[in-house]
Structure 1
Amino acid sequence: MPSRLLLLLILGLGLAQTPAARAQPRPARTATVLQVPGTREFCRIDEKGRSVLPSGRYVTPAGQLVRITHDPFGLALAPDGRTAVTLHNGVFTRLDLASLAAVRVPSYDGTIRSPLSNGSFLGVAFSADSKKVYLSGGDNGAVIIYDLEKMQRLDSISLNGACAGQQYADSFTSDLVLNEAAHELLALDRANFRLVRLDLNTRQVTASVPVGRQPFGLALSPDGRTALVANVGQYAYPLITGATPKNADSIMISRHPYGNDTKESREGTVVEGRQIPGVGSPLAPEAMSVFAVDLATNRVVDRFKTGHQIGEMVEGAEVVGGASPNSLAVGRQLAYVTNATNDNLTVIDYRNHRLLGDIPLKVDSRLDKYRGLLPFGLCLSRDERTLYVALLGFNAVAVVDVATRTTRGLIPTGWGPARVRLSADEKTLYVTSCRGLGAGPNGGAGFVAPPQGTYIGDIQLGSFQKVPVPTAAQLAAYTKQVLGNTFVPTKLAVNPKNPLPALPGLTPTPIKYVVYITKENRTYDEVLGQLREARGDSTLARFGVNCEYTLPDSLRGKFAHLRVAPNHRKVARQFAFSDNYYCDSDASIHGHHWMLGVVPNEWVEANSNVSKTAKLFSGAPGRRFPGSTGSMDPEDYAETGGLWEALERRHVAFYNFGEANETAHNREAWRDTATGAGHLVMEPMQKALFPRTSHDYAGFNTSIPDQFRMEQFEREFTKKWLTGRQKMPALITMQVPNDHGADVRPADGYPYRQSYMADNDLALGRILHFLSRTPYWKNMLVVVTEDDPQGGVDHVDAHRSLLLLAGPYVKRGYVSHAHANFGAVLKTIYNLLGVPYVNQYDATGTLLQDFFTGTPDFRPYTLERSDLRIFDPQQAMRRYDKTIDWRKVEKGPEMDDEARERADHYRQQKAKSK
């Protein structure tokens, strides 16, 4: 009995306390979210203070800085310590290291002519007397010799010609190193996959040594006996079997032939009746490796596979991208190579022919599990105890202790540091950055065009920094500054009523489907600059509504009340948009990486900013390199992939319309409607994406109307997810590209450049009109953005672009002023779909909860027809013998056939009973 009484007493006390406990306020649940520091700021350039980048990160470069031509991928210091030369595409800059006075060659006024033709690439080296400089000729396959005192070209040495009984042609000069003891230059030929030795006395090629694919970085051992070559290429890309210059146009296939690292990609396959060669194993010795060459014998003595290898498991995820070894620093026994994809360095004992492991680059425990540092150029102190590493993705130079294999600290740089060099007295560091302080505005009231021009890639200057080597105390302060420039941890109260979780899957959300739409090349001002409730410049709104005032005087009367993009304006005002959103990218090759969760690595950056000529039938295999625009090449893949791979790992369904089917050398004719392309060079697609991509939707190809794409999209969507048996996947990606613009084609319905935007605008209206009349709409979010802003102008920043959000749980008539970029968009998708972040930009993107409401509005969107004076959709479809059934379009999608579904239901029940 006592025990029963005691139990009843305890239970009674517990019950008695319950109402009181319920009456007590529960502590608010919080979550720590990492965000960029500039979440409430617009982009700006401050040469003497803190600049705000498109990502929302800050840059506060240490030391002294001078702005120079964009993308300085080559850097050398003169032996006398007085001069530096940076090499850009078709340009070099001579800098006085005392005053930082810079001379651009060619000069903007034309008084100093360029010694370069067809661009240049990476390689720059000084003569021993510091009077001459050797420059990579890039596409012309030569080395240029230039007199820095007389400022004139002295000679050009071609890598082409016969060597040891073999003929070489179509060379492409990459990195250079002076071997003073042998009075020779070592040069890489990325087209013919070889190391070339050039005698400076005879100006002749003395040796040609086969190395790996797309040789990129070159270094020489201190004793001059060993050359080390970093190869960034993954494959030697073949043509379709039997292809010739005469039959090339007729033999192309409509799509990528296989997924990467599959049986078909390794061994070959048949596609559309064509025999397709394989590309072999991604683990081949020639792929993404470091070769050691014995210069006494001109033989490769080692083939090192550095970094993490494809197929390995790293932190619970399969490696899908190669290490991208790119730059080298060589000591008396050990060499170091930067593996951009892996955020680490590999240590090579080249004397004893072995790998000694990796040095992971760690910067902060809250970020170290994500990739995104992208180590690029590096240099080694004379005592070989310290490495200085340019972190392309982190806007800093890492100071690495060799003995302990740890990162001592970080030095703040400009945007995208590429190269770092140490002065001979080891008191000063010199750093080049690709994008310096950013772009700034390239139009609008009061804007004065600079001498380099207003195109985004020109107005955005690079930078050259002179930084005293910091003391331990200064390095600690710099490190704190770099981290503060990159992210801020924010403790937020968890609001379960907001449909956007603060972290992936943290709270339930009614949003189950995301449609992610990308368009091409437009800035904010030229489309939405007229909206008075936001920060715009209406004088730049050439694609607006009632925008005839932006036309030449001769056309204004003809186009009174011109409506170029009425749907963009209507979507923005009916749902929500941002006036503080930026593409991280300058052009398409960057944009289609950024927006799909892959930060462009050093190869993408360097290869996209060099003049290059494709020669598909050349004997030089490097001339068939795809050099992608709308696709990602295998050379570009991130360590564990991007958006596609993240979804696949979590078993989240997705499907793709139009992304990732455009390589640089494909055909884009009006008849290529299956995917928008015709392929001759065989390149794999991402393995996760390949089986989830439509083969009946035209990707980038401005010869095909966006209205044709809408017919394709509506047809396949209806067949798969409305009248078919499948459920709509959680994510749909979709490319609608014709706002890119092209040459006028009056006969095809495009009498003006604005006609392409009007086509695109009508397509956007049709998409939302269609989707908002499907049963999925009640749980849907539609995200609309651009892949890059390169085609336009903007009064805030050349990177500012469009971000529209639509759906029942998006606020109506809302303008977001939060700083946003691709990282913020991807964070939104990952948080909604419960998928872990992939890289540092996702993890630190702005949390866009301000766009959303917990009170849904299910009203559909109704499209606006186009202004027929500027674009006639029926005329655009005429060459396809198609007409648009507007009654059908405006009615909306076909739904399930109720009678058929009822009959199918009873058939299944009957089958179960047997």
Structure 2
Amino acid sequence: MKRKRKKIVMIIAGFTLSSLLAGIGAVNAASSLIVGPQADGTGVTPHGWTLTPAGKGVTLNPFPIGGAISPDRRYLVVSTSGWGTQSLQVVGLPSQKVIQTISYKSPESLYLGLVFSPDGRKLYASAAGNNKIRVFNFNQGILSEQQSVNMSDPNHSNFYPQGISLSPDGKYLYTANNLDNTVSCLDLTNGKIVASVPVGRYPYMTLLSPDGKMLYVSNWEDHSISALRTGDMAVTKVIPVGMHPNALALNPRDGNLYVADSDSDKISVIDGNKLYVTQNISLAPYVDAPAGSIPDALTFSRDGNTLYVANAGNNDIAVIDLRGRYGKGTVKGLIPTAWYPTGVFLSDDDKQIMVLSAKGLGAGPESSRQNIGDMMMGTLSFINAPDQVQLEAYTRQVKGNNQLYAAASGGWINRIFGRTNGKGSPIPRFSGERSPIKHVIYVIKENQTYDQIFGDIKKGNGDPNLAIFGGKITPNLHKLANQFVLLDNYYSNAEVSEQGHVWVSQAEANDFTEKSWMQHYSGRRNGGDWHYGEATRVSQGYIWDNALRSGVSIRNYGESVNFHAGTGLSSTNVPGLGQYTDARYPGWSFNASDIERVNEWAREYSQFEQKGNLPQFETVYLPNDHTEGTRSGRPTPQAYLAQNDYALGKLVEIVSHSKNWKDTAIFVTEDDSGNGADHVDSHREEGLVISPYTQAHQVDSTFYDQMSMYRSIEMILGLKPMTQYDASAIPMLNAFTNQPNFSPYTAEKPTYPLNATNGKNAPMSSSSAKLDFSRPDAADEETLSHALWESAKKNQPYPSLNR
């Protein structure tokens, strides 16, 4: 199987990105990118942001999320919460090496909370999915597990303990019960629950005052902090803060409480005595920046004059000086980290900063046997505290890594012209410009990599050995890619569907989504929001909210809806979307075919066309390329892909023969790459742009991600960016031309039988039978991917797979 990865050159109208940026003061701009980990210890995210973590890096298990430094300051214990094996890892701080790992396979779990006893002889860890607190003896850097404290109460069925705190005398443990919306006090002398009291939705972290008399709790879904007296466990005040608060820290100098508002990109400062917000410290990377920095970890210097904030969305540590006038905090610099920092700690003398990063340096190429969630190894960086000169250099590096200059004031978007030479571009670049495209159809599908579909197209950067659903199964996808534009460097911003649907509808997966999906997928979190819940919602809402704010008419077919098999109707719990949703269009359900879905869409499309009131923006969900694996008696994976392929072909045929074809663009994306195989990177996926203005029979190898498609739709429809990611995305200018070709498209008939079903002895049929297909992000995609691969090896007509 090939493992060669082609260098991805960012070319816009014949200029490299670095030459375009030279005139606007950009630094460290790369002219070529290879997604994933690099040989020199750096990395590149699927959004094209470079990872150049400062300091020395230590590799950890996937998705480190929690950490605690021992009282003697010699050890850091890290809790990793990845998809497969979760673990506690003990890192020796003098040696900067992992000296012990204790692993847990599902259903055994860990999560955020870690706390040492005052004497350092015991460690407590939240095992959220098991509703218990793990207890360890700790001696010279070695953990030995003891009897756990089980959380049991007939009035509470699913605590899901998350953040934890220990009383100063070590006798009582306080837990934030994320799925129970309560805080509990545990008596460690007998292992009993003293009290459980209601707080806000999805409590995340607990923090005790130094004297142990007050307990603060961040309410992750709400916009509030709960303050409790520990003496009687009474909530004394609920303090409004920003959106989706998570991390908490007390300033040792004045006792004020600092709160990371993860979806507001700010720190709320709460007076420790009066318990109200006295100031907010912005973490926006530039003036009027939309959300996306995602602060999620805090720590103070010993003197309380400096606050360090992990910005998970910007891959940096913000260094905040708190010595300003009236105690006003200001960001004085940024330190680059690996991907998605989740923890920041200081050595006892403040001379060294330690940073946990959940996604490390990325994933890289993926074979059919790997799990994307377990490919992204976590990291711990040891960084010498920088002086002002070094901090300024780090800050320039962060800004260069993140291309934030591209978003501020229009950035380089206003300096590139694509193949249109700036004349009549279908994607407007300036305020007041209008696109010849008046209607956009946004098709969202499920879970396929580029190589799985297009690996056999010779003119693109594909690996035919991985094309398990190539041209014989998906003739329309191949014809569309050849007739319009083949995007062979198009990437998902997500790893799985739970993030993917949020990315393609909100332009960001927030802190809740990123820290919950692995728990859901591994069976360690049962309950609570998945996508389209309030906890997953970012500050600007959804793309249809964005459209309505700008007066753009919308219609929704199947996205973010619940399908009711008994009535055959769909409904949505997303506020305000119901009136714009076709209830007769089936949402996620394998009881409906994608051909039936397109037939229903076509019924309304014809009516809109006849009345002359076709919506300007439509979302159309075609999910059956997800497949049911090789579940006995159900359609084969190939039948599902062939059905999905023909449905899309029919949709394009109908539009291209309509009077609206002349001013329509159809954007097609997978919600994510589905844990499938790809020889470039596990995030590379199938994507299409179909319009008279893209009908050029070309290959566009420009580096694009889902946010490029998102931003292009916004620019065509005149919408403002919603987050830092669509704001900084490379628009798909090179996919378009100002010389339209209005020839219609004719759908190809299926070449694989749509009624083919899996037999009783289909490969991995027993594994597929155990998968939960009740919603698109509930199935174990690792098992599903293996089932698809085994099925393809036996059924695909490609000689390279018959081995």
Normalising to structure 1: TM-score of the pair? 0.74
Question: Which of 547, 566, 577 is the matching residue for 2:475?
Answer: 566
What does residue 56 of structure 2 align with?
A: 64
Change (3 A) 1:151 1:703: farther
What does residue 657 of structure 1 align with?
A: 557
Deviations 1:753-779 (A, max 9, x none): 222111111111111111111111011
Matched, 1:420 2:322: no
Provide the secondary structure at the position in 1 that maps to 2:37. Answer: coil
Change (3 A) 1:767 1:99: farther
1:330 deviates by: 1.2
Deviations 1:272-304 (A, max 9, x none): xxxxxxxxxxxxxxx431011112332111110
Deviations 1:667-705 (A, max 9, x none): 775x66423x8xxxxx83132x33211111112223321
Change (3 A) 1:869 1:209: closer
State whether residues 653 and 747 of structure 2, in contact with CA within 8 Å, keep that contact through their aligned partners in structure 1.
yes
Moved more, 39-48 or 518-527: 39-48
Change (3 A) 1:91 1:47: farther
Matched, 1:718 2:714: no
What does residue 347 of structure 1 align with?
A: 269
- Report the Cα distance in structure 2 between the residues aligned to 1:329 and 1:851, rounded to whole angstroms: 48
Change (3 A) 1:49 1:603: same
State whether residues 811 and 851 of structure 1, in contact with CA within 8 Å, keep that contact through their aligned partners in structure 2.
no
- Report the Cα distance in structure 2 between the residues aligned to 1:788 and 1:612, rounded to whole angstroms: 14
- Report the Cα distance in structure 2 between the residues aligned to 1:419 and 1:35, rounded to whole angstroms: 27
Provide the secondary structure at the position in 2 that maps to 1:775. Answer: coil
Amino acid corresponding to residue 407 of structure 1 in structure 2:
V
1:642 deviates by: 3.5
Question: Which of 579, 589, 595 is the matching residue for 1:691?
Answer: 579
Query: Which residues in structure 2 correspond to 1:455-534 (within 5 Å)?
Result: 455-487=371-403, 488=406, 489-490=411-412, 492=415, 495-503=421-429, 505-534=431-460
Question: Which of 299, 303, 326 is the matching residue for 2:246?
Answer: 326
Question: Which of 296, 305, 319 is the matching residue for 1:376?
Answer: 296
- Report the Cα distance in structure 1 between the residues aligned to 2:650 and 2:206, rounded to whole angstroms: 53
- Report the Cα distance in structure 2 between the residues aligned to 1:868 and 1:609, rounded to whole angstroms: 35
Change (3 A) 1:47 1:122: farther
- Report the Cα distance in structure 2 between the residues aligned to 1:868 and 1:493, rounded to whole angstroms: 44
What does residue 230 of structure 2 align with?
A: 295
Question: Which of 144, 147, 165 is the matching residue for 1:152?
Answer: 144
Amino acid corresponding to residue 330 of structure 1 in structure 2:
L
Change (3 A) 1:510 1:105: same
Amino acid corresponding to residue 124 of structure 1 in structure 2:
L
- Report the Cα distance in structure 2 between the residues aligned to 1:205 and 1:195, rounded to whole angstroms: 10
Question: Which of 594, 605, 625 is the matching residue for 1:739?
Answer: 625
Change (3 A) 1:840 1:706: same
Question: Which of 456, 466, 470 is the matching residue for 1:540?
Answer: 466
Deviations 1:730-750 (A, max 9, x none): 1111111111111446756x1
Matched, 1:98 2:24: no
Normalising to structure 2: TM-score of the pair? 0.84
- Report the Cα distance in structure 1 between the residues aligned to 2:296 and 2:113, rounded to whole angstroms: 15
1:836 deviates by: 1.5
- Report the Cα distance in structure 1 between the residues aligned to 2:335 and 2:450, rounded to whole angstroms: 34
1:99 deviates by: 2.9
State whether residues 69 and 75 of structure 2, in contact with CA within 8 Å, keep that contact through their aligned partners in structure 1.
yes
What does residue 131 of structure 2 align with?
A: 141
Change (3 A) 1:168 1:848: closer
- In structure 1, runs of 5+ residues without a counterpart are 1-30, 108-113, 234-286, 308-322, 445-452, 546-562, 616-621, 678-682, 874-914
- Report the Cα distance in structure 2 between the residues aligned to 1:83 and 1:33, rounded to whole angstroms: 42
What does residue 674 of structure 1 align with?
A: 569
1:228 deviates by: 0.4
Matched, 1:196 2:209: no
1:96 deviates by: 2.0
1:181 deviates by: 2.4
Change (3 A) 1:328 1:399: same
1:32 deviates by: 8.3
Provide the secondary structure at the position in 1 that maps to 2:538. Answer: coil
- Report the Cα distance in structure 2 between the residues aligned to 1:713 and 1:140, rounded to whole angstroms: 44
Provide the secondary structure at the position in 2 that maps to 1:609. Answer: helix
Greater radius of gyration (CA): 1
Change (3 A) 1:674 1:34: farther
What does residue 772 of structure 2 align with?
A: none
CA RMSD of aligned residues (A): 2.7
- Report the Cα distance in structure 1 between the residues aligned to 2:176 and 2:632, rounded to whole angstroms: 48
- In structure 2, runs of 5+ residues without a counterpart are 1-22, 758-803
- Report the Cα distance in structure 2 between the residues aligned to 1:428 and 1:570, rounded to whole angstroms: 56
Change (3 A) 1:799 1:476: same
Change (3 A) 1:93 1:502: farther
- Report the Cα distance in structure 2 between the residues aligned to 1:521 and 1:303, rounded to whole angstroms: 42
- Report the Cα distance in structure 2 between the residues aligned to 1:522 and 1:115, rounded to whole angstroms: 27
1:81 deviates by: 1.8
Matched, 1:393 2:313: yes
1:337 deviates by: 0.5
Amino acid corresponding to residue 860 of structure 1 in structure 2:
P
- Report the Cα distance in structure 1 between the residues aligned to 2:517 and 2:26, rounded to whole angstroms: 31
Query: Which residues in structure 2 correspond to 1:80-91 (within 5 Å)?
Result: 80-89=72-81, 90-91=86-87
Amino acid corresponding to residue 467 of structure 1 in structure 2:
I
Provide the secondary structure at the position in 2 that maps to 1:699. Answer: coil
- Report the Cα distance in structure 2 between the residues aligned to 1:104 and 1:800, rounded to whole angstroms: 35
Amino acid corresponding to residue 415 of structure 1 in structure 2:
W
State whether residues 598 and 637 of structure 1, in contact with CA within 8 Å, keep that contact through their aligned partners in structure 2.
no
1:506 deviates by: 4.8
1:393 deviates by: 0.8
What does residue 583 of structure 1 align with?
A: 492
Amino acid corresponding to residue 292 of structure 1 in structure 2:
A
1:205 deviates by: 2.3
What does residue 780 of structure 1 align with?
A: 664
Amino acid corresponding to residue 828 of structure 1 in structure 2:
S
1:598 deviates by: 3.6
Change (3 A) 1:51 1:722: same
Change (3 A) 1:533 1:35: farther
1:156 deviates by: 0.9
What does residue 311 of structure 1 align with?
A: none
Change (3 A) 1:691 1:115: closer
1:37 deviates by: 5.1
Amino acid corresponding to residue 129 of structure 2 in structure 1:
D
Question: Which of 595, 599, 609 is the matching residue for 2:504?
Answer: 595
Deviations 1:828-848 (A, max 9, x none): 111111112121111111122
State whether residues 417 and 434 of structure 1, in contact with CA within 8 Å, keep that contact through their aligned partners in structure 2.
yes
What does residue 201 of structure 2 align with?
A: 213
Provide the secondary structure at the position in 2 that maps to 1:527. Answer: helix
- Report the Cα distance in structure 2 between the residues aligned to 1:101 and 1:324, rounded to whole angstroms: 34
What does residue 815 of structure 1 align with?
A: 699
- Report the Cα distance in structure 2 between the residues aligned to 1:441 and 1:864, rounded to whole angstroms: 32
- Report the Cα distance in structure 1 between the residues aligned to 2:629 and 2:687, rounded to whole angstroms: 26
What does residue 273 of structure 1 align with?
A: none
Provide the secondary structure at the position in 1 that maps to 2:148. Answer: strand
